Chain A
Amino acid sequence: MSTMTLGRAAVPVRYLPVLVTGCLLVAMFVAGGIRYEGFAHGQVVLNVFIDNAFLLVVAVGMTFVILTGGIDLSVGSVVALSTMVAAGLMAGPGWPPYVVIPLVLAIGSGLGLVMGYIVHAFDIQPFIVTLAGMFLARGLCYTIGTDSIPIQDATFTAFAQTRIDLFADLWISPSVVIAVVVVLVAAYVLHYTRLGRSVYATGGNEQSAMLMGLPVGRTKIAVYTISGFCSALGGVLLSFYMLSGYGLHAVGMELDAIAAVVIGGTLLTGGSGFLFGTVLGVLVLGLIQTIISFQGTLSSWWTKIFIGLLLFVFILLQRLFSARSRR
């Protein structure tokens, strides 16, 4: 008789990329701590969170999209549009923040919904659809104003200046709390809800997912809507951070978000990856910036060079893993 219990991979291959990123992060932190004085301090890590809270939120949305095998190029522009709408409405007609913020979130989600619908209903490459969305959102910024609009609203400035003290004179900003909540909710959705599992199934094999009776279309629309929502929320966090709205905010942030997701071990082909990896990916990007600012002699463009090199390494790693798991 044939034995029906065939061997399985001894090491859970799917955890490996996250593990590699985690090790990289630790190595970078240790190296920085040895090299630079004052680097090995808790606040340095927290500052990475504080300076990248908006990117983290945007990358969470991007993770959903990439897990289905799609891509969302519009996120940077939606972030900019969100800062612009928020600043414009508060500076011009003087709307209160508790009206403006929900409106901004609704606009971002709406844009995502429309793009998701187009991707699904007309079966068009997400790359093209979100590219169009990217131009559209960026262009809309300039219909509001071509210059930077400062935000003077009391709530916003208070939010921007609040420090939440932790133990031992460590502190974080409210944005970090929001970002962490977003990460936790998103991780719960991905792991413990049908929507989350449909996201993985769609990314694994869309045709199969459909034949298994999963709502593939709804899932795809949902992930772009989530990504739009996260971008808008990222835009709100960015306007806390910058205290201005500007059409040139967040130029190229979509690429940072994609880079963070990929470095976090999520396969661009979809179906494999973890939200925790994305958090690590954002931290890696942030830590590179920190190291370069500690070095002091390097221009900030070196950040891009390191990110570029890292991406190459991680894409090659992905290739290696997917080749092995296919056997």
Chain B
Amino acid sequence: MAVPAPVLTMSGIGKQFPGVKALDGVDLRLSPGEVHALMGENGAGKSTLIKVLTGVYPADTGTIELDGAGVAFGSPLEARQAGISTVYQEVNLCTNLSVAENILIGREPRRLGRIDWRRMRARAAELLSRLELSLDVAAPLSSYSPAIQQMVAIARALDVDARVLILDEPTSSLDAGEVEQLFMVMRRLKEEGIAILFVSHFLDQIYEISDRMTILRNGRLVGEWPTSELSQVQLVAKMIGQELDALERLHGAARVFDRPLVEARELGRAGAIEPFSLTVHEGEVVGLAGLLGSGRTEIARLLFGADHASTGEVTVGGAPASLRTPRAAMNHKIAFCSENRKEDGLVPDLTVRENIILALQATRGWTRPVPRDAQDELVGRYVKALRISPPDPEHLVRDLSGGNQQKVVLARWLILEPRLLILDEPTRGIDVGAKTEIQRLVAELSDGGMAVLFISAELEEVLRLSHKVEVLRDRRLVAELPNDDELTTDVLTETIASGGRAS
């Protein structure tokens, strides 16, 4: 395929952060009318590269050329004015403002310095219709779903004469239909000659939409390939730099477990989850499968005492237990890794060591501090075991990539040596490498006798890890399936869809 003259060329880009070399000699070429995928694990330097390109950070070394002329942007605003627009992973809009304002703020049509609201709304509606959306542009953005907000962000990016559009993980919060709509928009923009830089963790999406890809690993350039010439397996191998034995199925079959650890009988909470019975044995990985909002997280919260049960009872190790608070659950050696690592889990301004030690310290009480030697020893062990990168316990958690932050949360709970570990979406939004490591860890832990309740939206992952799978639908536990040879993702999907195996 003949590659047309690139509209944007970055060459030899290097960027140093305190203690980390984030980018080292990275090249990137974007051609008009192509979708270019930027691939790499979390922490490979994708975000940093985008931030250097859009002027959030200055580059330490290297040059950026736009249409053959050297540029260096001092701020995202300057980059936008030059025609480089970015839509970030988290929707960076102001949900308190109207849709129209979010699209046009900073460039509002004005008459004599006065904002012309009517023209602004008309212009916003026009831009949205280019994306085949019709919204009430006067309504506050907060009244629309994240998917719509994402589209609004794209509409905003297109208002300037964008020649380069950067989409940084735009699909992570969209459902299949919404992704399809986004792709339709991307294809249309491509035809208009816009160069699109696309970042996503979903390999299928990359293969569906992208023409070429640039792969980064550990801040270095691995190479650039046309998408059609690189298979998925080769791609992943290049991203993680090792062979793919790790991606094999970790657990083969359903096993028989005979030592029940936590038993829930007719446990339920009005309005959250209908009464269910569930037994988790020592060394068993129980997967919870179901759609978002089907009651997966509610089960986890009940077992951890984060919510109060309105019916039923729980026994731990055969004895009745009252799990009325997370503290009580922790005393029974139950740990819960929540899905919202940013909001509920981590303290970004503390170091890796401090974050890991937090839960242990909490169980001991503040009058008995963990000695520093013991801290260093424990933290060092888990940093190594989980391969937290960079392997420096005194690094601030804020500066870690998403996957490594997730490992820190995990380490915090593992240090308590729980008997039941509840993991709510531990691998969401992290890359293939960190994902396999966390999966392997779960397998190792259960081999060591720990019981794991594993919640994930990815059925493949649930299947790969679990000994048995509990299927949820509409806030009800509808089926318990042993993970035998007959159980496939298709069967699971079928069960979720039909609400039980019988039908």
List the interface of chain A (C-beta within 8 A of B): 1-2, 4-9, 14, 191-194, 197-198, 200-201, 203-205, 207-214, 271-272, 325-326
Contact = CB atoms under 8 A, between A and B. Distances in A.
A204 B95 contact: yes
B105 A2 contact: no
Given A2-B181, A194-B115, A214-B106, A208 B142 contact: no
B133 A212 contact: no
Given A194-B106, A214-B105, A214-B106, A6 B94 contact: no
A208 B93 contact: yes
Contacts of A211: 76, 86, 88, 92
B125 to A, nearest CB: 13
B75 interface: yes
A200 B80 contact: no
A269 to B, nearest CB: 10
A271 B96 CA distance: 6
Interface stretch (B63-71, B143-151, B263-271, B282-290): B143-151
B94 A4 contact: no
B177 interface: yes
A246 B170 CA distance: 59
A103 B97 CA distance: 37
User: Which of A201, A271, A325, A326 has the most B CB atoms < 10 Å from its CB?
Assistant: A201
User: Which of A191, A207, A213, A271 has the most B CB atoms < 10 Å from its CB?
Assistant: A213
A212 B160 CA distance: 12
A6 B96 contact: no
B170 to A, nearest CB: 14
24 contacts: A2-B178, A2-B181, A4-B148, A4-B178, A5-B134, A6-B148, A8-B139, A8-B143, A9-B143, A192-B115, A193-B113, A193-B114, A194-B110, A197-B101, A198-B105, A198-B106, A200-B97, A201-B97, A209-B94, A211-B86, A212-B106, A213-B75, A213-B77, A325-B142
B177 A193 contact: no
A212 B105 contact: yes
B76 A213 contact: yes
Task: Indicate the size class of the contact surface on chain B.
Answer: 35 or more
Contacts of B86: 211
Contacts of B110: 194
Contacts of A210: 76
Interface string B99-141: 0011001101010011100000000000000000111100110
Contact of B136 (A8, A200, A209, A213): A8
- In order of increasing CB-CB distance, the 8 nearest A-B pairs are A2-B177, A213-B77, A204-B94, A8-B143, A204-B96, A271-B96, A208-B92, A211-B92
Contacts of B97: 197, 200-201, 204, 271
B178 A193 contact: no
Contact of B93 (A200, A205, A271): A205
Given A4-B133, A211-B92, A212-B105, 15 more contacts: A2-B177, A6-B145, A193-B115, A198-B105, A201-B97, A204-B94, A204-B97, A205-B93, A208-B91, A208-B93, A211-B76, A211-B86, A212-B106, A271-B94, A326-B142
B467 interface: no
User: Which of A8, A14, A194, A326 has the most B CB atoms < 10 Å from its CB?
Assistant: A8
B101 to A, nearest CB: 6
B92 A197 contact: no
B80 A213 contact: yes
A197 B139 contact: no
B412 interface: no
B161 to A, nearest CB: 15
A210 B56 CA distance: 10
Contacts of A205: 92-96
Contacts of A204: 94-97
Interface string B48-83: 000000000000000000000000000111001000
A2 B174 CA distance: 11
Given A194-B115, A214-B106, A272 B144 contact: no
Interface of B: 75-77, 80, 86, 88, 91-97, 101-102, 105-106, 108, 110, 113-115, 133-136, 139-140, 142-145, 147-148, 151, 156, 175, 177-178, 181
B110 to A, nearest CB: 8
B64 to A, nearest CB: 18
A191 B139 CA distance: 16
Given A204-B95, A208-B93, A8 B144 contact: yes
A307 B175 CA distance: 49
Contacts of A1: 177
Nearest to B75: A213
Nearest to A10: B143
B184 to A, nearest CB: 11
Contacts of B76: 210-211, 213
A204 B105 CA distance: 13
Contacts of A197: 97, 101, 105, 108, 115
Contacts of B105: 197-198, 201, 212, 214
Contacts of B142: 325-326
Nearest to A194: B108
Nearest to A13: B140
B149 to A, nearest CB: 11
Nearest to B133: A4
Contacts of A272: 96
A56 to B, nearest CB: 24
Contacts of B147: 4
Contacts of B102: 212
Contacts of B94: 200-201, 204-205, 208-209, 212, 271
A4 to B, nearest CB: 6
A164 B80 CA distance: 53
